[in-house]
Amino acid sequence: MTNTAIIQFNNVTKQYDHDAPVLDHVSFEIERGKFYTLLGPSGCGKTTILRLIAGFTEATSGDIYFNGKKINHIPANKRQVNTVFQDYALFPHLNVFENVAFGLRIKKMKKSQVAAKVKEALSFVNLSGYEDREIKEMSGGQRQRVAIARAIVNEPEVILLDEPLSALDLKLRYQMQYELRELQRRLGITFIFVTHDQEEALAMSDEIFVINKGRIQQSGTPIDIYDEPINRFVADFIGESNIAKATMIDDFLVAFGGEQFSCVDQGMNPNEPVEVVIRPEDLEITSFENGMLQVEVNSQLFRGVHYEITGLDKEGNEWLVQSTKKAAVGDKIGLRFDPEAIHVMRFNETEEDFDRRLDSYSEGEADGK
């Protein structure tokens, strides 16, 4: 475990009854003081990870550590963790002050200290002066802030946020994304945020875990995950992508769309079937003759800042391009791209498989193979 790791999952599996596991041998580390996002489609196991960290449920197998100590059987109220729920779970019959003070009162803190801490927490979320308001008199965004104040007032080491922005309209959602990110920076507490919205994850996080079917597919910074998706699921889930079936002819040479291209990837088997990703913004439109790939335009949409054009290559792959250039349906155009824009992926490889593959190369080198 690294020095800064605050939470560690070691081969954690969670299974209900005899169903397939909801989490399947999940291992990861959470470093102190960063903003993490668990990103994945509905039912992939995001909330289950939060519940295991909070102590609302126990792992079927595997170990969970907090600050280096195993916490598998430590009850929720003994953990240095607070949760902000999707529906905020505020007490409707209590005013803002009492909602925030609730946890401190349970701890039997002195009245004067409670008042000072609640005041500070409310000022952190820009709600100073709202102490006496009823919850029903607060807007969605304000309720959200009360829920956050209630979590931070306990001074936890980690705050878990389960889709906390999903009930807000788009404009407020953007504002709260900004506020939450700023708040995390100011407090320096570790935030673990759950969402199924990839844009939200890219905008807010230091680190993202992309999860599918109970397994972490990839973890990394937003830029790593966007630029270097490890498999089709991640490439597809994070932003718009062009994904095509391809053949890795040799190191640095890949074939797709009926042509061969230089690329920066290596270390696969000769003629291994793979998939390639090229982001739409990395494709440039040129004349048919000058195209590295030649396509026939089959759709065009004006999106305000650019046109979104799709075209089919001679193998029938569809390529989406974002361009300020116009092209009409039926036009034959060429596409150009840099070798770095081509990203080669092995079929269904997850991060763990990838790491194992890298290890096996270095072991091979050490053996002199």
Ligand X SMILES: Nc1ncnc2c1ncn2[C@@H]1O[C@H](COP(=O)(O)OP(=O)(O)OP(=O)(O)O)[C@@H](O)[C@H]1O
CB-nearest residue to ligand X: 47
Smallest separation (angstroms) from ligand X to the CB of 302: 34
339 binds ligand X (CB under 6 A): no
- Residue 42 or 324: the one with the smaller Cβ distance to ligand X is 42
- Residue 43 or 273: the one with the smaller Cβ distance to ligand X is 43
* 35 closest CA partner among 195, 174, 144: 195
46 binds ligand X (CB under 6 A): yes
Sequence letter at residue 18:
H
Sheet order of strands, 343-345 included: 259-262, 253-256, 242-250, 272-278, 343-345
- Residue 196 or 343: the one with the smaller Cβ distance to ligand X is 196
- Residue 196 or 346: the one with the smaller Cβ distance to ligand X is 196
Site for ligand X in 173-212 (CB under 6 A): 196
Site for ligand X in 242-281 (CB under 6 A): none
362 binds ligand X (CB under 6 A): no
Straight-line distance from the first to the last Cα atom of the chain, in angstroms, rounded to the nearest whole number: 31
In a 3-state reduction of DSSP, which class is residue 215?
strand
Q: Which stretch binds ligand X (CB under 6 A): 39-47, 58-66, 179-187, 346-354?
A: 39-47
List of residues 6+ apart from 23 with CB closer than 8 A: 12, 13, 14, 45, 48, 49, 52, 59, 214, 215
Number of residues engaging ligand X in binding (CB under 6 A): 11
Smallest separation (angstroms) from ligand X to the CB of 215: 12
Q: Which one among 48, 217, 310, 350 touches ligand X, defined by CB under 6 A?
A: 48
**206 within 8 A of 193, measured Cβ to Cβ:** no
56 binds ligand X (CB under 6 A): no
47 binds ligand X (CB under 6 A): yes
Q: Which stretch binds ligand X (CB under 6 A): 43-51, 67-75, 117-125, 237-245?
A: 43-51
Q: How far apart are CA 58 and CA 360, in angstroms?
A: 34
16 binds ligand X (CB under 6 A): yes
Smallest separation (angstroms) from ligand X to the CB of 26: 11
User: What residue ranges in 102-238 does DSSP mark as E strands?
Assistant: 158-162, 190-195, 207-212, 215-220
68 binds ligand X (CB under 6 A): no
Smallest separation (angstroms) from ligand X to the CB of 69: 25
- Residue 163 or 275: the one with the smaller Cβ distance to ligand X is 163
| 100's tokens | 């925030």
**129 within 8 A of 118, measured Cβ to Cβ:** no
Q: Which DSSP helix (H) or strand (E) runs through 53? A: helix 46-54
**58 within 8 A of 52, measured Cβ to Cβ:** yes
* 155 closest CA partner among 122, 178, 189: 189
43 binds ligand X (CB under 6 A): yes
44 binds ligand X (CB under 6 A): yes
CB burial of residue 124 (10 Å; 0-12, 13-18, 19+): middle
DSSP tag of 20: P
Smallest separation (angstroms) from ligand X to the CB of 50: 8
| 278's tokens | 């090229």
39 binds ligand X (CB under 6 A): no
Binding positions for ligand X, rule: CB under 6 A = 16, 22, 40, 42-48, 196
